[in-house]
Amino acid sequence: MAMARPSHTTTSLSLVVVALVFHWCQFLFETVLEFRQRTAIRKPSPPAALRSIFDETWYKASQSYALDRWTYRLIHSVYSTFETHLVISYELMPRVWNACATWAAASTYAVTPTAKEVLASIAFVFLLTLVSVVKDAPWGAYATFVIEAKHGFNKQTVRLWLMDKVKGLGVACVLVPPIIAAVVASIRVFASSAYAVTLLWAVIMAFQLLMVFLYPNFIAPLFNKYDPIPEDSPLRADIVRLAEKVSYPLQKLYVVDGSKRSAHANAYLYGFGKNKRIVLYDTLIKGFAELNEEDEAAKDQDESRNNEHVCSVLAHELGHWNHSHVIKLMVMSSALLFAQLQGYGLIRDSSVLFEAFGYHDHAALPPKPVLIGLLLYQLFSVPVDAFLGFLSNLVSRAFEYQADQFARTLGYAKELAQSLLVLQQSEKGSLWMDSWYGAYHSSHPEIAQRIDALGVVADSDKDFVQKLKRREVARRSGEDKKSA
């Protein structure tokens, strides 16, 4: 039996149409950007400044990786767009909510109407999360075990991938209920107050700050192993000297086993006040070590160079800390969230809006559920969210240049430029980015622009260029042996 399409009044139908128009306009705009980026990816050769560094074989491999990911993004975007259209048109979310509300109303675990709304909201989120995990699993599996594996990046087993999903659900089971309870209570308890939405903002911000502490200390260790770098390690000594030079209050220094999942590399800083920590991916350290694996005659000198490359990456990260970029982004994010929640405050009591999308009041629960109101507001904030995302990336790219310049003032301009090239080679990153696509989507400038801003000629160090090329040949040989 076919599912009946819900009937609407003229006003409610207009609201649904507006939401769908916003949704499809975003899809069409982003699709145009994707095709512009596809044209950029398919350029026949690297930028002139990098042409002598990346050979034709590597360039074609990077194009293949970028195009595979591009095709995946496009197909997934089409699927998601039609899915959202059907979910809205056939009121599938309201059906789930009504089932959760009916269950909560009959439940003896909650007595007051607000408590029943909290229970219904928790059940609603968990059901949607489970559906999302199952629905998105094939997409995630394809990206990991087909695309990433094809291009030599995936290192995780199916068992590890499934365990990550289970652990993720376990973390959600612990964190989601108190968050939902606090969000709902902030509106219901102070419903008559002019500051109810402000209190909701404070609750969300408090959770975000709590996650800054919880994630690196308790959640991330559930998924990866963090080993302290040995006290007698030359790398540790170099990093400690760098931290002392810029007065960074480093307390702990870790290497994380990122290689058990992926060949991608990273490094980051975290911590409150005087309790700062640095985390290096083992893939980052290995990537630089590969430059000198065949040069036994200058092993000690080359180890020092490897450490300089690692320190140059950390000098960039310390630039973010020195310029308070994380704090500035958090302040900007909190201000934007405050403004957006004021918009939610304008529609949270709109019966017409809730009815238009199929959400009807339940006798045992307070009218116009808080969680549903927030979801409905998101449907109409699509243009604003897209514009804010554009501004956020604009600011982020400026911050990247600032962090690069900080590394330059510390004397790491050449080493950072070389590190960017090593990472670009390892990641098979696209050397071209369409200007519109980059402005809208990218939080980092193109590598050629960053190296130019550092005042470095990319291929000026011929010895380094040769090592980079030998490293790529060795990597390709290793991949060929594995595929054989």
The C-alpha atoms of residue 479 and residue 484 are separated, in whole angstroms, by: 9
- 262: phi then psi, degrees, rounded to nearest 5: -155, 160
CB neighbourhood size of 405 (10 A): 17
Q: With beta carbons less than 8 A apart as the criterion, state whether 59 and 431 touch.
A: yes
Consult the annotation and say whether 320 binds a ligand.
yes
Q: Which residues are catalytic?
A: 317, 404
Strand, helix or coil at 227? strand
Distance between CA atoms of 287 and 466, rounded to whole angstroms? 15
In sequence order, what are the beta bridge partners of 267?
280
Dist. CA 292–CA 313, nearest whole Å: 18
Tokens representing 132 are 């999302």
Is residue 202 within 8 Å of 211, Cβ to Cβ? no
How far is residue 100 CA from its own chain's centroid?
31
**Which of 255, 419, 252, 239 is CA-nearest to residue 318?**
239
Of 69, 67, 43, 38, which is closest to residue 436 (Cα–Cα)?
Answer: 38
296 is in an annotated binding site: no
Provide the 10 A C-beta neighbour count for residue 3.
10
**Cα–chain-centroid distance for residue 347?**
29
250-256/276-281 β-pairing? parallel
Burial class (CB in 10 A: 0-12, 13-18, 19+), 250: buried
Report how far apart, in Å, the C-alpha atoms of 192 and of each of 187, 226, 345, 349, 368 are.
9, 48, 12, 12, 14
Q: Are 255 and 282 in contact (CB under 8 A)?
A: yes
What are the DSSP E strand ranges found in 396-447? Answer: none
Cite the annotated binding site for Zn(2+) by residue number: 316, 320, 400
